[in-house]
Structure 1
């Protein structure tokens, strides 16, 4: 008697299984090469092992190295394969349908695995190994999800976790947010016992370049969470799809609604309970955040450069539980940024004091963004004296203003303007 197991491309384990099969194939090839050197019996045993005969190439170009460099890996192609796992023989049938998933534009795919009924437990071992392999590949990285149709899909390759200490906020601000998020994560039972919806909302606001998105990325890495980014003004996003997405957030994932003010900047009031002007109505957003059908077990961050444009109904307690302003660089932040870039060159701190004196004299404290300062330091990454001599080129807006009146974007430096 035989037993079949089918897995579709919509299942989270589908790419894990492909990865496992690819690695299994490599192991078999390596064993075959060793068998050729191990004598007649060893070579014969390897030849009797079934192998993958329908392969599909996957090409990747490394970010570093020569421009012509490329890495090739061979994944199981469409068709039938026979694998030998331990003492079990497994027929693997990967099929692609002609029909497309209308929500994603991806063809329907399935993998069907067949083995003897008496050996069906082999499936659990294979999927456990595939999951472990997937976890090892994601170790130390943050997955960024994007909305694709009604589902969340990984966007690009996982990003290396950003250290929390790499984001410099005003003294105590970072620690206060981290403490609140960690307390929320640990209080699940407390919320459920009291019948309180288990979700928490945060609003980070302030000028551009003050670290809002960077902090959220670093926080996710610190908590070992992923990030799901949703653009509320995205074309094709409506109230129903928004509500569905926020109720189906992947586990251990922070939801990020960036520049939420932009979605309703040009809205027009049409009725007492909502606004229109975008595919998502204002009332639809409110209901998705904390309505009857809204999801639970959720951490959501909203960011904006213009908090005054947000309706009070959007940021009331229950939808936004903590509001934090991330402003321009204070003396503390400037000093911390200096130490992060130049501690090895300025052990005594004399250079930092001269830089801070220049910043104070130019009136840049609490007026220039941390992004602009970081751009200056990156340009002079091994040259603290260069940073000191060029700080006068930063304007209060964080732009570099030259003697001829031209203005460049934050962090852009004209070497011809250095005196």
Structure 2
């Protein structure tokens, strides 16, 4: 009997091949989404996967997908039978998320092992298709990057109005960098590019980065240097594992270390050092093929070591709106109202007006160009009170 069992085990090892997909791997979520759209599996145990869909009017609907639950299930893929075994261990949890450890094991005949790659590639394409035409914003979660909220519709580049040729200059520089990886490699230059956008609050720094990501069909990874528990090692790791085709954004870079010092007495646990940040940006272990954007309202507070070439290659001042920008913004909201636009600009010319405050005024009078002009004095009064 023991000989029969051993022979059966040997036969199984020779004829069958298995693939394990742990829950920490991205393919785990992709495969479950794929299973949710393919109902040709045989199972009596189901689990629910809840997802959300954002519509064009910004409303959100909830979708419940039924997927195979823990246990063994069977389905046919490209003519080959496959067994899916979903295992969950409640005693083992992900330290960062608190979710129970889980793994999916696919088993099929050895001759069909190449189908695993086809299946996972198909699952990946299905997952990516859901984000087509959208920008995914990631934030750090433990040692990984996690999507923050729902994918957002790509922000049109033309919706951001900068002064003169500033927008075109930055976009051209980024695209030139992306198309010249081989040039950097041949010359032994680290394939990294750093940008610093500085200027007063509301000048459109973050909006431009979002629009640039849409233009490039990139996503955005936002890294908060003041995050509780962030260390030099974790910072370096996060900057090394940034998802492909993503811009890394460090907002309000000037405030990161000020906040930490100011709250140390209250037990604040941010342990990122200035030297740790510098090493993460361009040290020996710094990642290649990376685009970093930093923003600040106070460039004078930045240490020269942070903004030297190699860490910051391009600096751009996004200032309060000029007369030309005011007019373009007015005409963007009220097309064809050239005369009203000129009168509006004449009343505000020379005043420190941010793009954000101007947009807020136009949104309030979104279909009333004459009202937007008539209430400009009230707008000026509100500016003086800020």
Q: TM-score, normalised by structure 2?
A: 0.88
Contact 1:257 1:302 in 2 (8 A): yes
Partner of 1:189: 182
SS of 1:125's equivalent?
helix
The CA distance in 1 between the partners of 2:109 and 2:140, in whole Å, is 40
The 3-state SS of whatever aligns with 1:138 is: coil
Question: Residue 387 of structure 1 aligns with which residue?
Answer: 372
Aligned to 1:370: 355
Q: How far, CA to CA, are the matches of 1:68 and 1:263 in structure 2? A: 34
Q: 2:296 aligns with which of 275, 281, 304?
A: 304
Question: SS at the partner of 1:111?
Answer: strand
**1:66 deviation in Å?**
12
Check conservation: 2:156, 2:211, Cα contact below 8 A. yes
Residue 56 of structure 1, aligned match among 44, 47, 51: 47
**Structure 1 unpaired stretches of 5+:** 29-49, 269-275, 402-406, 410-419
1:70-219 equivalent positions in 2, closer than 5 A = 70-98=62-90, 99-219=92-212
1:232: Cα distance to partner? Answer: 0.6
Question: Which residue does 2:277 correspond to in 1?
Answer: 285
Distance 1:70 1:228 in 2: 25
Which stretch shows the higher mean deviation, 288-297 or 66-75? 66-75
Residue 7 of structure 1 is matched in structure 2 by 21
CA contact (8 A) 2:160 2:204 kept: yes
Structure ranking higher on relative contact order (CA contacts 8 Å, 6+ apart): 2
Matches within 5 A, 1:247-326: 247-265=240-258, 278-326=270-318
CA distance in structure 2 between the partners assigned to 1:359 and 1:84 by the alignment: 68
Could you tell me how far 1:79 is from its partner in structure 2? 2.4
Deviation at 1:60? 5.0
2:324 aligns to what SS in structure 1?
Answer: helix
Corresponding residue of 2:347:
358
- Give the corresponding residue for 1:35: none
Report Cα offsets for 1:210-237 as digits up to 9, x if no partner: 1111111110110111111100111100
Matched, 1:327 2:319: yes
| Cα deviation code 1:260-283 (max 9, x no counterpart) | 111112577xxxxxxx99411111
Worse overlay, 67-76 or 283-292: 67-76
Asked if 1 retains the 8 angstrom alpha-carbon contact of 2:54 and 2:60, the reply is: no
Question: In 2 relative to 1, CA 196–394 (structure 1 residues): closer, same or farther, beyond 3 Å?
Answer: same
Matches within 5 A, 1:11-22: 11-22=25-36
Q: How many residues align?
A: 364
By how many angstroms is 1:374 displaced?
0.4
8 Å CA contact retained: 1:2, 1:114? yes
Are 1:238 and 2:231 an aligned pair? yes
Q: Deviations over 1:320-344 (max 9, x none)?
A: 001111010111111111111110x
2:54–2:150 Cα contact (<8 Å) kept: no
SS in 2 for 1:165: helix
**Equivalent-residue separation in structure 2 for 1:285 and 1:373 (angstroms):** 35
1:100, distance to aligned residue in structure 2 (A): 1.3
Instruction: Identify the range of structure 1 (179-188 vs 118-127) with the bigger mean alpha-carbon deviation.
Output: 118-127
